[in-house]
Structure 1
Amino acid sequence: MRSSDKTHARSVAAASAALCGATYIFGIAMLLGPLADAPLSQSGSDPKETLAMITQNAGLLRLWYLVIYMVNGLALAALVVSLRGLSPRTLGTSVLGAYGLIWAAFVIAAGAIANVGLQSAQLAISHDAIERAADLWVTTQLMENAIGGGNEIMGAVWISGMAITLPFGGVLFRAFGLSVGVCGLMTLVPFTQDFAGMTFGLGAILWFAACSVTLLRNRTPVPCLT
């Protein structure tokens, strides 16, 4: 890759990492603010309790899903591809790049499922098919969580792999990346899922921010994350 291409790829990677972190911040802010009382993806909540919230806050939900899934997934894909262009072509970096793109695909797919499920539930509500709307919402939440925020397997594997292979950041940065990955893996454990998911999200914000700052400060092309 030519020097100018590497400079461009580094800029794209830095901007994409910053955008990924920003979407996480937006998603958490919405959960702590306008959507704080919405029983979204909470174990033990009555699906019918969400129907009034869907009717009243459909616009906010669509915006939330758009940002945390669609925008995040597209930015993540751009980050993976641009960083791969800065990296030496080895089997390990190729595998990690594939994992990163699979993660991005999962995120985008979760957003598509959430939006279509929301639209279907709204349509059922408009026809007074309350039971059907509740069933649609349960199914939507199940599918969304299965490949989206309900577990963070792919994200945990990718970030952990990056922590090991990154050529910058030092011991603390690598240890932090590994700890974020461990939190993602802990979302597989039912009784730690909520705490681990929130911790993974907060850690990912800092991790993406650190990557963005490091890439911007590097004036010479260096091999990076994938």
Structure 2
Amino acid sequence: MKAIYFLVALLALAFSFASAYDPSPLQDFCVAINDTKNGVFVNGKFCKDPKLANANDFFFSGLNKPGNTSNPVGSKVTAVTVEQILGLNTLGISLARIDFAPKGLNPPHTHPRGTEILVVEEGTLYVGFVTSNPENRLFTKVLNKGDVFVFPIGLIHFQLNVGYGNAVAFAGLSSQNPGVITIANAVFGSNPPISPEVLTKAFQVDKKIIDYLQKQFWSDNN
């Protein structure tokens, strides 16, 4: 009987790991549709009849165009997820172009549903990520054109342009919709705001500092 309980527990654990990432497709493709009138989402998206799919369902144009970096952080992320290419639905992959003005920053953020692999197309970037508690170990590297760096799923990471000109990087992510949580925006720019009592104790600072930070305009570069 104990062996049966152990087997059930093991299967439950295996299923929990399997369901933590995009599921494997059960057909060649499942082009998403957004215009359904009734029903519930199927893993985020309904599927178009495969017979009605066409080449445009798997196509996106525009990553040759620089993003607008005229914002407080000096960077722009142009994402290509299932929202931009409906044919990415169930394929477990997406892409992004990141443009940086001189000294531009892609602020500390996480992707809760995907690992990121970044390749520098132009310029010089200082990049890094921080491991989880309790170590909170920082891994950093200066990347030049052609260099590649990996940011593990869910970990806080960043990229800073340390060159003298503009910089461009492309990132592949292991999810059709990896999501993004920009740390400063989430903590100090949430709607409604997080209680100052929580934040003053969490950051061990005076309430005036928290009030100041919550009144700032937290720029979104996505």
Fold match by TM threshold 0.5: no
Shorter-normalised TM-score: what interval?
under 0.3
Task: Give the alignment's TM-score, normalised by structure 1.
Answer: 0.26
Higher fraction of helix: 1
With a CA cutoff of 8 Å and minimum separation of 6, indicate the structure with the bigger relative contact order: 1
Give the greater-gyration-radius structure (CA): 2
Task: Give the alignment's TM-score, normalised by structure 2.
Answer: 0.26
